[in-house]
Amino acid sequence: MNKPLDLVFLWHMHQPDYRDYASGEFLLPWVYLHAIKDYSDMASHLERHPKMRAVVNFVPILLDQLEDYEQQFASGTIRDPLLRLLGRNDLSCLSHAECKFILDSCFRSNHTKMIAPYPAYKRLYDMFKTLEAAGDTALTYLSGQYMADLLTWYHLAWCGESVRREHEVVVTLMSKGEGFDANDRRQLCEVIGEVVSGIIPRYRKLAETGQIEISATPHYHPLAPLLLNLNSARESTPYSSLPQSPNYPGGRGRVAAHLTSALESHQKRFGTTPQGIWPAEGAVSTALLEVLAEQDCHWAASGETVLANSLRAVQSNLPARAEYLYRPYHIAGASRKIHTFFRDDRLSDLIGFEYSRWHGRDAALHFIAQIEEIARQRQGDETPVVSVILDGENAWEYYPYNGFYFLDDLYAALEEHTVIRSTTYSDYLARRGEQGSVDFPAEGELPGLVAGSWVYGTFSTWIGSPDKDRAWDLLCMAKQSYDMVTVGGHLSEAEYQAAERQLSSCESSDWFWWFGDYNPSHAVESFDRLYRHNLIHLYHLLKLPAPAVLNHPISHGGRGEEVEAGGAMRRGS
């Protein structure tokens, strides 16, 4: 086991667009909360371990919102209602609606890891639950000081481990515990502003040193294969139900527009053109790779099951996964020049779902052992390339200390390992090009891909149920209206740009993900309402009356549980 093995981490950073374009207000706070917890911690780990290499994937719509918050802090005009309340001087005269908003918002954290460890915060929670049982009238006894303490603790709990270690204000406030005044909250707001404003520059610097590669995703995170062809859902799930609409009007042009915009975003923020694309949800199809090839992309990635399904389409029996998974592939035809990598689902899900219950060092050593076993199973002199791909934000709230000790121990061990070589996809391909096929696994070839995503290898999370199909039909209908108005030249250039941006937001995959009984009812209702609000506003921008159907909920499902922290349930990735 002396020859090296290449290990690529791809950390996917994404939040959907939470802005109401009509008012400019942020409707949900998850962008800045994940910035002070996860995006800051993930940068800090890389800064602490300079020999560690990784790919970091930023969805442009997340970067848009981070820059929006940066501008809010710079101008002093805060358009996020929760953040605005945190910074308000006087909380003694809150309206009933504001009190309800604070109570609805500030317990949306993982209770085991983000509330219970802090006695003062837990006391606020216990007090709330006691009064809540007595009805809404009893909640009016909660004072302005209670609301001040709750707002402060909520944001303190969302501060990442690196923020706590690097900002004395956070430690001081956590030690104070209660009775937070306007100055305390103002200082905390300043920390939040500093951390949020530093996210993009920190990752740009890591990329400039060559420590990380930053990849992109089509701008607003659309599920591109379905925009290209709704019927592609049946490639992996032959009997899936489909929307009534036969296709998404002008889908290829929309995918190309999202991709072009993403490349421009990347150039503006990081000074380079991204070499690789992580498609939204790892959702790929042969047609999508052709679009990527037209934009001169060099690599893409997806889930392991997509590869398995594609191999089964051309051979009846699959060999052992170690024989086919740890190599790049290309697809015959127009997309041949794109190198496609596939995620090791088992290793990625160990980090995403299992290791949060382990001691950090034990989990790190176990992960290293799994990679070493892959190295032992190598075929001849080949150097496997192992892809570990998962969200860079959603898993950590389930870990003690936001995963700090697990990642710190893991990165430290990998930096010094004599066999496992952390790398990026572009560096791997560059070395492969320089050295030819020597020591590298032969690149696999497929006649085509069986379209699917990193979740089960299918699109069933976004299409194929009554609610999801209805949501697609509403989008298709809106796109037909968009085409009718814009092609007819009925809008000024500024009006057209506003409508195009609104349409792009409506095309995000996130809307369709939230429809489903695997999600809590509160979250389903919230995203149902936001999705319909976005469609209604699109019609308004097109100077058309919105269909009456948009006044009624799309979904009638949901699990009836509280939404888990971070604005999203833990995903199969």
Q: Which domains does the chain have, with CATH numbers?
A: 5-17+51-60+214-221+272-446 (3.20.110.20), 30-38+63-204 (no CATH)
What is the reported pLDDT for 199? 98
Spatial CB neighbours of 411, under 8 Å, sequence gap ≥ 6: 45, 46, 48, 49, 52
* Sign of the four-CA dihedral 198, 201, 206, 207: positive
What is d(CA 156, CA 170) in angstroms, rounded to the nearest whole number? 7
Phi-psi region of 327 (alpha: psi -120 to 50; beta: other; left: phi over 0): beta
Q: What is the pLDDT of residues 312-336, one digit of tens each?
A: 999 888 999 999 999 999 999 888 8
Residue type, 338: I
pLDDT of residue 432: 87
pLDDT of residue 58 exceeding 90, the answer is yes
Per-residue pLDDT at 518: 77
Query: What interhelical angle do 144-158 and 168-176 show, nearest 10?
Result: 140
Strands (E), 270-400: 276-277, 299-302, 329-331, 339-342, 385-391
Position 227 pLDDT exceeds 60? yes
pLDDT over 90, % of the chain? 86
- Structure confidence at residue 403 (pLDDT): 97
Place of tokens 């699959």: 318
pLDDT value of residue 520: 82
Q: Residue 562: pLDDT above 70?
A: no
- Residues in Cβ contact with 436 at an 8 Å cutoff, skipping those fewer than 6 apart: none
The answer to whether residues 190 and 197 touch, using CB atoms and an 8 Å cutoff, is no
Is the pLDDT at 435 greater than 80, yes or no? Answer: no
DSSP state of 327: S
Query: Looking at the predicted structure, is the pLDDT value of residue 175 above 80?
Result: yes
CA 400 – CA 114 distance, rounded (Å) = 9
What pLDDT was estimated at residue 161? Answer: 97
Locate 552 and state its tokens: 């009624």
- What is the pLDDT of the chain when averaged over all its residues? 93
- The predicted model gives 515-531 an average pLDDT of 85
Residue reference for tokens 């860079």: 392
Query: How much of the chain, in percent, has pLDDT values that exceed 70?
Result: 95
CA geometry: angle at 481 spanning 478 and 486, to 5°? 125
Nearest to 521 by CA among 555, 482, 567, 570: 555
381-395 burial: b if 16+ Cβ within 10 Å, else e: ebbbbbbbbbbbbbb
Q: Identify the pLDDT of residue 358.
A: 98
Per-residue pLDDT, 563: 38
Eight-state DSSP code of residue 58: E
The predicted structure's pLDDT at residue 511:
94
pLDDT at 211 over 50: yes
| pLDDT over threshold 90, residue 67 | yes
How many Cα neighbours within 13 Å face the side chain of 478? 31
Q: How far is CA 206 from the centre of its chain?
A: 20
CA distances from 389 to 262, 351, 433, 452, 517 (A): 20, 10, 24, 16, 26
Position 439 scores a pLDDT of 65
The reported pLDDT for the residue numbered 554 is 93
Q: Please check the confidence at residue 463 and state whether its pLDDT lies above 60.
A: yes
* Segment among 131-140, 396-405, 512-521 with least mean pLDDT: 512-521
Give CA–CA dist 363/345, Å, rounded.
17
d(CA 290, CA 287): 5
Strand partners, 7: 386, 422
Query: 276: which 2 tokens?
Result: 């690789």
Closest CA to 38 of 397, 280, 569: 397
Does the global pTM surpass 0.85?
Answer: yes
Report residue 124's pLDDT band, with 50, 70 and 90 as the boundaries. very high
pLDDT the model gives residue 555: 85
Tens-place pLDDT, residues 231-265: 999 999 999 999 999 999 999 999 999 999 999 99
Counting DSSP H helices and E strands in the chain, the numbers are 25, 10
Strand 339-342 versus strand 420-422 pairing type: unpaired
Determine the Cα angle at 342 with ends 341 and 345, to 5°.
Answer: 155
Mean pLDDT, rounded, for 461-481:
97
At 559, the pLDDT band (50, 70, 90 cuts) reads: low
**pLDDT tens, residue by residue, 84-119:** 999 999 999 999 999 999 999 999 989 999 999 999
Tens-digit pLDDT profile for residues 532-541:
999 999 999 9
